[in-house]
Structure 1
Amino acid sequence: MKILMVLTSHDKLGDTEKKTGFWVEEFAAPYYVLADAGAEITLASPKGGQPPIDPSSTTEDAQTEATKRFDKDEELKKKLSMTKKLEDVKAEDFDGVFYPGGHGPLWDLSNDLKSIALIEAFNEQMKPMAFVCHGPAALANVEDHKKPLVRGKNVTGFANTEEEAVQLTDVVPFSIEDKMNQLGANFSKGEDWSSYVMVDGRLVTGQNPASSEKAARELLKMLQKKAV
């Protein structure tokens, strides 16, 4: 199993002086689920190199077993510091793709032409794709036969109530929930901060950091079924 993980390269939280990036739990938990199952994982980002880590995801209350494992994993940290540029990866070289969240993707992956083309290629090649939390921002401009890829699909992502809870409703360029609804997706959510994952065909979406492990397990299930 060869899996591509795509991380944001964006580190500024709108016009505030605050930093953002990817959310550690949403990278670490899926990475270990997939790697422990024997997957070969390639990391990529729009700019390549070290993707920015959202400082809020390194605080004490954001720690999980996966983030603690990552903290001690010097080999993975080194690998993370050398992500490939998106322009240097092709969908045909992988069996599936995973997009972690953090607020960064709202600014770069939502509009990144290489990312959009990559997702469209994965879709055309009928390969499973997973997006968690703000990761579904990468689907904002993705099309399937000239229609939004998510139209009519059951999806989830970071909910408006969660965005309000972190007080970033007025900072983000758009909310995941509103965007998915505008695109004609069937957006649903579980309780705030609880694990909630939607699977529709080959598309997996998770609501928040707590959903990242389950989203990865759903992706893994599809890949293992395909391999049989």
Structure 2
Amino acid sequence: MILTSHADMENTDSKTGVWLGEFTDPYYEFIDQGYKIELASPQGGKPPVDPMSLLTENITASNRRFQNDEAAQHAFNNTKRLEEVDAAAFDAIFYPGGHGPIWDLATNHASGRMILNTLDAGKPVAAVCHGPAALLAAELLRPGFLAGKKITGFTNTEETLSLRASNVPYELETRLKDNNADFHSAIIPFTVHVEVDALLVTGQNPLSAGPTAKALIQILENQPVGVS
């Protein structure tokens, strides 16, 4: 799982970072299915956490589980730097959201190479909410990568409703469409929506984090013998 290291919003003193439930919901989906997880981020160490994701109305059951899980907290507080990770050693990559990825992961070449190399090796990549911004780095390295791919992510409408549209450098939906992605979303904002395009899995918003992980697990479980 690759997490953002970026904390600052634009034109405001508000902070961002990882949306905690978008990490914890998928994390425990994987853990409960017996998967081992390595956590990484551009800067390593403890990623910033979006303070809004800690508000009572945004707390999920997995957040509460995380609060009592010393092993998970230790892993979260000590992520590896991306350059220290060999993506070839893993079966899949997952990108949680929070607004941070639209700054750092969207232009991080190490992350972009991991995405391309993982997909090229026949292994899946998944991202949720603003996590699909990481795909923009793959597009930078391989122009045309996003063209025609069925993708979802945090929508322009959701950005406006979250009152943060003036605090981001661009709207993710627009940027993905500008790169010719086949963008889809739920009719009703902030409801579950997941897109699967071969080995690429994307989820629209925080409520889609767990379902996105489940879709990734389904791909992993259905891979033929001999594909790691």
1:47-66, CA deviations, whole angstroms, 9 ceiling, x for partnerless residues? 00100010000000001111
The aligned runs of 1:31-180 (5 Å cut-off) are 31-143=27-139, 146-180=142-176
Pairwise CA distance, 1:149: 2.1
The answer to whether the 8 A contact 1:101-1:134 is kept is yes
List gaps (5 residues or longer) in structure 2: none
The number of residues matched between the two structures is 224
Aligned equivalents of 2:22, 2:219: Cα separation in 1: 19
1:137-185, CA deviations, whole angstroms, 9 ceiling, x for partnerless residues? 1111313994332210111000111100111112111111101110101
TM-score in terms of structure 2 length = 0.95
Aligned equivalents of 2:208, 2:145: Cα separation in 1: 22
Match 2:202 to one of 196, 202, 205: 205
Pairwise CA distance, 1:8: 0.3
For the aligned residues, what is the CA RMSD? 1.4
Alignment pair present for 1:192 and 2:196: no
The answer to whether the 8 A contact 1:142-1:148 is kept is no
List gaps (5 residues or longer) in structure 1: none
In structure 2, the CA distance between the partners of 1:144 and 1:56, relative to structure 1 (3 Å rule), is closer
Pairwise CA distance, 1:227: 5.7
1:46-94, CA deviations, whole angstroms, 9 ceiling, x for partnerless residues? 0001000100000000011111111221221111111000001122100
Aligned equivalents of 2:140, 2:221: Cα separation in 1: 25
If each structure's strand is expressed as a fraction of its own residues, which one has the higher value? 1
State the identity %.
Answer: 43
Counterpart code for 2:35: A
Counterpart code for 1:222: I
Counterpart code for 1:103: H
* Match in the other structure for 2:18: 22
